[in-house]
């Protein structure tokens, strides 16, 4: 079976085709970073219009890359939320229209479930249950993943998400949008220990996060120092180290509280090299394992949507022709599924 995946939740148009026997057959991605750079952030109306221009051409390219036609597709999966309503409507409308025309099931996918399952695109896949750290521009959550569709929220950010905090701090340092990756690159040149930022909420019980205070601390540090390139790098290093240490401490606490030894990191921030290295070192010391996808599957992409669609297709899930998308959509609202092997037995 083959599933076409469509991702249009924000500022990236992702199209992919997943085969349950072979794996990923095609993966196309168009980023709108240059379009939104002049505004310092995503402009929803511009994002929607660009998805309209790019989605159909990318689907054609993906089919050509896979050597397939519409008649070879067994289902169409598309992101139905959470995300920007206008952007979601583009993917949902195109996805349902193609499913109707090709007479195949249409499958609405939760964007964060796609991220959560992205590590299963790799050969080294986590087994259930596991704890998932979802870290992106819009989300910072710790989830107890008991099975597909069985998700328990353990903790989340009470203010800024990690990616949002990275971007805001990068802007304070004069870096262009999107600033998170640029800040991480700058941090590699920073001196450890020149500045020390607080590790928020680690002295409190529970698994919630708070990162807005780090942004304020960074702003005060920048204002109180004569800024040159090295000083900026040192501040970036202190900020990144504080974020990473906080995430590591909370993840260790989540594993200890649940008794689970497997941790999955997903979302755009999970591609951060420092986070990956420190998390692996820390979790390994307590006898645990860390799983994550390759960097191109950490940010928004069609591959994770096609994969999630395949799993739901194998569980007999399909949706009506009604076009419904959700700006907000808690993972806990999803229904439990019986996990099915991604590949056919030979």
d(CA 49, CA 42): 12
Task: Look at 190-204, 237-251, 276-290, 311-325 and tell me which has the smallest mean pLDDT.
Answer: 311-325
CATH fold for the domain made of 2-117+298-333: Nucleotidyltransferase; domain 5 (3.30.420)
**What are the binding residues for Fe cation?**
111, 115, 300
User: Which residues does the annotation place in the binding site?
Assistant: 111, 115, 134-138, 167, 180, 272, 300
The answer to whether domain 2-117+298-333 and domain 128-292 are alike in fold is yes
Q: What is the pLDDT of residue 200?
A: 94
Both tokens assigned to 36: 């939104």
Tell me how far CA of residue 222 lies from CA of 180, 217, 219, in angstroms: 17, 9, 5
Report which of residues 84 and 344 the model is more confident about.
Answer: 84
pLDDT confidence of residue 341? 64
pLDDT digits (tens, 9 = 90+) for 257-302: 999 999 999 999 999 999 999 999 999 999 999 999 999 999 999 9
CA 168 from centroid of its chain's CA atoms: 18
Whole-number pLDDT of residue 192: 95
Tokens of 265: 């990191």
Q: In 206-301, where does DSSP find H-type helix?
A: 212-223, 229-258, 273-285
Instruction: Output the average pLDDT for the chain.
Output: 95
Tokens standing for 331? 């993972």
Q: DSSP letter at 191?
A: P
Residues 109-142: pLDDT tens digits?
999 999 999 999 999 999 999 999 999 888 999 9
State which fold the 128-292 domain adopts. Nucleotidyltransferase; domain 5 (3.30.420)
CA atoms within 13 A on the CB side of 137: 18
Residue with token string 């309209």: 52
Q: Where are the domains of the chain?
A: 2-117+298-333, 128-292
Give the annotated binding-site residues for substrate: 134-138, 167, 180, 272
Q: Residue 176: name the closest of 31, 34, 30 by CA.
A: 34
């Amino acid at each position: 079976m083959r599933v076409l995946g469509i991702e249009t939740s924000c500022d990236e148009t992702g199209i992919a085709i997943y085969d349950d026997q072979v794996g990923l057959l095609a993966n196309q991605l168009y980023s709108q970073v240059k379009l939104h750079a002049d505004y310092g952030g995503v402009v929803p109306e511009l994002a929607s219009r660009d998805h309209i221009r790019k989605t159909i051409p990318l689907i054609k390219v993906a089919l050509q890359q896979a050597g397939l036609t519409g008649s070879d597709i067994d289902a169409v999966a598309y992101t139905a939320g959470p995300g920007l309503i206008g952007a979601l409507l583009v993917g949902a409308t195109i996805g349902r229209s193609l499913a109707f025309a090709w007479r195949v099931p249409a499958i609405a996918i939760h964007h964060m479930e796609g991220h959560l399952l992205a590590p299963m695109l790799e050969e080294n896949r986590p087994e259930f249950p596991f704890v998932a750290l979802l870290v992106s521009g819009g989300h910072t959550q710790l989830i107890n993943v008991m099975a597909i569709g069985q998700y328990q929220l353990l903790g989340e950010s009470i203010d800024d998400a990690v990616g949002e905090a990275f971007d805001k701090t990068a802007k304070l340092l004069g870096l262009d949008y999107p600033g998170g990756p640029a800040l991480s690159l700058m941090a590699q040149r920073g001196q450890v220990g020149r500045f020390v930022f607080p590790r928020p909420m680690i002295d409190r019980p529970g698994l919630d996060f708070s990162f807005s205070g780090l942004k304020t601390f960074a702003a005060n540090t920048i204002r109180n120092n004569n800024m040159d390139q090295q000083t900026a790098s040192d501040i970036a290093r202190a900020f990144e180290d504080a974020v990473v240490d906080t995430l590591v401490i909370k993840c260790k606490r989540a594993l200890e509280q649940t008794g689970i030894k497997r941790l999955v990191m997903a979302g755009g921030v999970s591609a951060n090299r420092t986070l990956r290295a420190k998390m692996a070192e820390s979790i390994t010391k307590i006898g645990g394992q860390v799983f994550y996808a390759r960097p191109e599957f950490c940010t928004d992409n069609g591959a994770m949507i096609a994969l999630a669609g395949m799993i739901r297709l194998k569980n007999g899930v399909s949706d009506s022709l009604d076009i419904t998308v959700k700006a907000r959509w808690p993972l806990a609202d999803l229904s439990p599924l019986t996990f099915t092997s991604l590949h056919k037995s030979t």
